[in-house]
Structure 1
Amino acid sequence: MMNDFSLYCAAMFLGEIIFILPFILLSPQRQYRYIILLFAILLGDIIVTVSPVHLSLHIGHWNWIGKTLALLFSIILIYVLKLSPNAVGLRLPQTARQWRDTALGIMVLMVYMSVIVFVSGDPSSPNPLENWLFEATLPGIDEELFFRGVAIVVTSQAFPQLRFNIPQWVAPFTITTGMFALFHLFSISHGHVSFNWLSTLAGVLPISIGLYVIRYRTGSVFSGMVAHNMANLTNFFLTTS
């Protein structure tokens, strides 16, 4: 009989099929090596991230271990797959327009998060230093490097061209944004899975779209890291007592 963790992984894999299969059908030349690799790294990143939580391996109250392992996972993938640092986005914005778009993207996400908090009426939460340290660092660094860095490159390799004159960017946008939202749709703790559909639909999905736009407009994964963490910190600032 499958436990909750196995069901969680099965749900993630089913999500991969739902998001990736249409592009397999739309691809005139199927790059099966990269398609299989894409399936593997998406599921691998999720398992690496949530396994410590499932096993109740904690440092403090947050998933420091899982996020650190996921960050190392992305770094190893960049090295083993010999991904170009520029392609991954490991560079600062290069032009005045890219810096402007970085600043604008950060402000837009912070304002959007503020609106979400006020509309939802989230209850106040304690304000330990650990909350601020975690939200200011690992979520944005880990998730942006993987979803808007490594995963975008591998998805582009898997689907370099689409039928019916569909722009190539549609595949990496749909797959990485969809999987990012699905990853946040479910949460697992002490072997139990919870379903966060409202916060995912209203908060995570729009934020994920905004982060992809920032990555696309600036060419820098660092811009997304700052925007991601600033959005998280905005949420904490407005919901702490």
Structure 2
Amino acid sequence: MSREAQSSQTNHLHQWIQANELDPARRGALWQALLTVALAIAALIGGSIVQGMLKLPVVMGWGQQLAALLASVLIAWALGEPRALLGLRWPARQAWLHAVWVGLSITAVGWVAERFLPPDPAPLTIEYFLYEATMPGLGEEFSMRGAWLCLLVVGLSRFERLPGRAALALAISALPFAALHVLEVSGLQLVVIFLYTFYAAVALGWLRLSSASIWPAVLAHNVANVAGGVISLLLRH
């Protein structure tokens, strides 16, 4: 890559960071990013355990998503830039249309992935659709496309000779999201689900960065989940 191209990429990335009210000179951003995602994963697992211990009359993972959401907000607040790190600004109108298209694209990729997977026995109840329309988009987006992704971008921006840093941040940020979805599978299922969720994470991350807001990613995530559930319901009848 030429020096002119490197300079253009560096300026563009720094402009994005400053436009999103983040500190480009933040020290230890990559270590903070790793700590952030580790705590978010711990909250997801811990919330699931607590829900199981309480023996609540629910089937879906309300506890893990609520715990992840709360942990993400507290972490961003502790780091001193909660609004910027979480992307709490209201996006431009066009971002909502992008969110719908991203959500439907994830649904389409998920439908293809399901051709290689055994039937999903999850009961498509009112609780299922209420949960899918709200919690995954909040818990998983705040934890995986909030401070974790932003801190990665800030940290990688300091490596000016590294090409494609924004794309690299998207790819790295997608890894824990994809890994969490393959904890209890193996073989072909592991490969298919990993590729599907990795695509979903990259698409949602792109939406988060391009819109400078977390809310389109929240909407896209919930659209993907609900649309997938509706398709499954139609195919079962």
Q: Which residue of 2 aligns with 1:208?
A: 201
- Which residue, out of 30, 33, 53, partners 1:38? 33
Distance 2:47 2:92 in 1: 38
Structure 2 distance, partners of 1:124, 1:101, is 31
Taking a change above 3 Å as real, the CA distance of residues 239 and 222 of structure 1, as seen in their structure-2 partners, is: same
1:156 and 2:138 are equivalent in the alignment: no
Distance 1:34 1:219, change over 3 A: closer
Is 1:64 equivalent to 2:62 in the alignment?
yes
Q: Which runs of 5+ in 2 are unaligned?
A: 1-24
Partner of 2:219: 226
Q: 2:178–2:198: 8 Å Cα contact kept in structure 1? A: yes
Displacement of 1:218 in angstroms is: 1.9
CA 1:225 to 1:184, structure 2 compared with 1: closer, same or farther past 3 Å?
same
**Residues 102 and 126 (structure 1 numbering): CA distance in 2 closer, same or farther, change over 3 Å?**
closer
Query: How far apart are the structure 1 equivalents of 2:192 and 2:44?
Result: 20
Deviations 1:102-141 (Å, cap 9, x if unpaired)?
3332332233333334564635643221111111111111
C-alpha contact (below 8 Å) 1:92/1:223 kept by paired residues = no
| Uncovered stretches (5+) of structure 1, i.e. residues with no partner | 1-29, 188-193
After superposition, the C-alpha distances for 1:181-213 in whole angstroms (9 at most, x for unaligned) are 1122214xxxxxx54514423421121122122
Which residue in 1 is equivalent to 2:48? 53
> What is the identity, as a one-letter code, of the residue corresponding to 1:182?
A
Alpha-carbon distance between aligned partners in 2 of 1:110 and 1:80, rounded to the nearest angstrom: 35
Contact 1:148 1:215 in 2 (8 A): yes
From the superposition, tell whether residues 234 and 198 of structure 1 become closer, same or farther in structure 2 (CA, over 3 Å).
Answer: farther
* Equivalent residues in 2 for 1:143-222, closer than 5 Å: 143-187=140-184, 194-195=185-186, 197-222=190-215
Query: Secondary structure of 1:91's partner?
Result: coil
The equivalent residue for 1:18 is: none
CA distance in 2, matches of 1:87, 1:200: 28
Counterpart-to-counterpart distance in 1, 2:68 and 2:46? 10
Aligned to 1:90: 88
The alignment yields a C-alpha RMSD, in angstroms, of 2.7
Q: Which structure exhibits the higher relative contact order, with contacts defined as CA atoms closer than 8 Å and separated by 6 or more residues?
A: 1
CA distance in structure 2 between the partners assigned to 1:178 and 1:135 by the alignment: 22
TM-score (norm 1): 0.73
Could you say if the C-alpha distance between residues 154 and 62 of structure 1 is closer, same or farther in structure 2, counting changes exceeding 3 Å? same
CA contact (8 A) 1:101 1:218 kept: no
SS at match of 1:61: coil
In 2 relative to 1, CA 52–152 (structure 1 residues): closer, same or farther, beyond 3 Å?
A: closer
Structure 1 distance, partners of 2:74, 2:227, is: 31
Partner Cα separation in structure 1 for residue 134 and residue 196 of structure 2:
19
Q: C-alpha displacement at 1:151, in angstroms?
A: 0.7
Aligned-pair identity in percent equals: 18
Between 1:72-81 and 1:116-125, the stretch displaced more is: 116-125
In structure 2, the CA distance between the partners of 1:103 and 1:134, relative to structure 1 (3 Å rule), is closer
Q: What is the CA distance between 1:35 and its match in structure 2?
A: 3.0
Contact kept in structure 1, 2:113 and 2:192, CA below 8 Å: no
Give the secondary structure class of the aligned counterpart of 2:28.
Answer: helix
